[in-house]
């Protein structure tokens, strides 16, 4: 503890010293905090526990599995690159690796309920809260930081009730819980939020496999669930940003962007849409070591990587659309929101220094996975 206090004092002195030197660049956010599911997870599941740690995951980049549910980068990496920021460090590694770009708390399989059994959004927020309380980041860091949240379907995928009524009720519960968690993040000092709408559940390969990956499932219940979730969440985000002073929200229309890419693949140099690159039980082998899947040679031509997740090329297409009009709410596009509409950009007179790698901080182990 004493070491930590001394460390803090040194940092405060440093902040004080450098705050006389400030330029426009210095006021930009340098921290990205990420919460949610496998679309965002940068490798938080322990090695050995998840398919993302087995071949052929990571075959395109870096060439070996690193815990990302993709052939290469996932949404977090592509989004960070689009914002000119480094990929945030997975929370699992936060003790050993520099966290000067932020921390990625997302865990594959999570949602706001216990979904598929991995730590949900609220647990991830608890990890962030303990870092904030340990003084790992300055209040200014957190104020200027970007928060990205991907809670895009696991709660629906995990629904095991028998009634459609109960399934539909989730479209009230899930946005409510996302809202509550965002308010907790706000109370911890976060102000700038990027939130994703759900993925088009009806077009995921796990659903379209029954048609040989030829068409999205036509199901009015699923259509209504997607529309209801996205609408209620949008409503809540709008109310939230009105009520919470200085908060700013960008709502990514992921259902729309993914459908757009699936309908216009050639615009993105993709040749395969519904058929994933890795078909079957991706990442699994039988007792004799024979793969229970087949894998394509050119993942960069496929939109989907496995039965649920886009390829890196898919993510580039999706995130690229957020810089076009009409794929985001509450701001014209990602770049217009990031460039001008965000409060931190108008604050020109504050020093900005990252307090990273606190020696006393110890990440809580991901229990129960």
Ligand X SMILES: *[C@@H]1O[C@H](CO)[C@@H](O)[C@H](O)[C@H]1NC(C)=O
List interacting residues with ligand X (CB under 6 A).
92-93, 95-96, 113-114, 160, 163-167, 169, 219, 221-222, 232, 235-236, 239, 245-246, 268-269, 347
> 362: how many CB neighbours lie within 10 A of its CB?
11
Least Å from the CB of residue 148 to ligand X: 20
Q: Mark whether 38 is an active-site residue.
A: yes
Least Å from the CB of residue 289 to ligand X: 27
3-state secondary structure of 251: strand
Distance in angstroms (rounded) separating the CA atoms of residues 65 and 328: 32
Choose between 232 and 258: whose C-beta lies nearer to ligand X: 232
Least Å from the CB of residue 98 to ligand X: 13
Active-site option among 37, 51, 202, 309 = 309
Choose between 174 and 293: whose C-beta lies nearer to ligand X: 174
Q: Mark whether 202 is an active-site residue.
A: no
The neighbouring-strand residues paired with 310 are 304
Least Å from the CB of residue 57 to ligand X: 18
Q: Mark whether 16 is an active-site residue.
A: no
Distance in angstroms (rounded) separating the CA atoms of residues 54 and 282: 9
Residue with tokens 């409510």, as numbered in its chain: 176
Active-site option among 37, 141, 179, 306 = 306
- Give the CB-nearest residue to ligand X: 166
Give the max Cα distance, the chain. 65
3-state secondary structure of 90: strand
Torsion, Cα 170 175 179 184, to 10 degrees, reads 50
Joined together, the tokens standing for residue 189 give: 């000092």
The answer to whether 60 and 72 have CB atoms below 8 angstroms apart is yes
The neighbouring-strand residues paired with 252 are 196, 328
Least Å from the CB of residue 107 to ligand X: 14
The answer to whether 105 and 132 have CB atoms below 8 angstroms apart is no
Least Å from the CB of residue 294 to ligand X: 26
> By C-alpha distance, which of 129, 91, 130 is closest to 110?
91
Active-site option among 38, 196, 248, 307 = 38
Residues 237, 36, 138, 83: is their CA dihedral positive or negative?
Answer: negative
Catalytic residues: 38, 306, 309
């Amino acid at each position: 503890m004493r070491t930590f206090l001394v460390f803090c004092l040194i940092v405060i002195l440093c902040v004080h010293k450098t705050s006389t030197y400030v330029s426009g660049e210095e006021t930009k956010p340098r921290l990205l905090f990420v919460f949610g599911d496998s679309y965002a997870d940068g490798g938080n599941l322990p090695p050995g526990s998840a398919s993302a740690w087995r071949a052929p995951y990571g075959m395109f980049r870096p060439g070996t599995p690193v815990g990302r549910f993709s052939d290469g980068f996932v949404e977090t990496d592509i989004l960070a690159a689009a914002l000119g920021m480094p990929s945030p460090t997975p929370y699992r590694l936060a003790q050993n690796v520099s966290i000067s770009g932020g921390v990625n708390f997302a865990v594959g399989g999570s949602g706001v309920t216990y979904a598929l059994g991995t730590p949900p959004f609220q647990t991830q927020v608890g990890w962030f809260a303990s870092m904030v309380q340990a003084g790992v980041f300055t209040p200014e860091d957190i104020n200027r930081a970007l928060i990205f949240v991907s809670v895009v379907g696991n709660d629906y995928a995990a629904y095991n009730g028998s009634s459609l009524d109960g399934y539909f009720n989730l479209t009230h519960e899930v946005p409510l819980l996302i809202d509550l968690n965002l308010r907790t993040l706000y109370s911890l000092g976060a102000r700038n939020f990027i939130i994703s709408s759900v993925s088009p559940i009806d077009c995921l390969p796990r659903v379209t496999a029954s048609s040989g990956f030829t068409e999205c499932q036509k199901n009015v219940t699923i259509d209504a669930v997607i529309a209801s979730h996205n609408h209620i969440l949008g409503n809540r985000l709008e109310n939230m940003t009105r009520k919470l002073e200085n908060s700013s929200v960008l709502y990514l229309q992921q259902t729309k962007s993914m459908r757009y890419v699936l309908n216009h693949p050639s615009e993105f140099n993709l040749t395969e849409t519904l058929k994933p690159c890795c078909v079957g039980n991706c990442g699994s082998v039988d007792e004799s070591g024979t793969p229970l899947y087949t894998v394509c040679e050119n993942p960069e031509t496929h939109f989907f990587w496995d039965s649920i997740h886009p390829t890196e090329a898919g993510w580039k297409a999706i995130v690229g659309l957020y810089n076009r009009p009409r794929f985001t709410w509450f701001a014209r596009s990602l770049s217009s929101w990031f460039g001008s509409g965000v409060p931190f950009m108008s604050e020109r007179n504050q020093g900005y220094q990252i307090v990273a790698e606190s020696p006393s901080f110890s990440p809580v182990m991901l229990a129960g996975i």
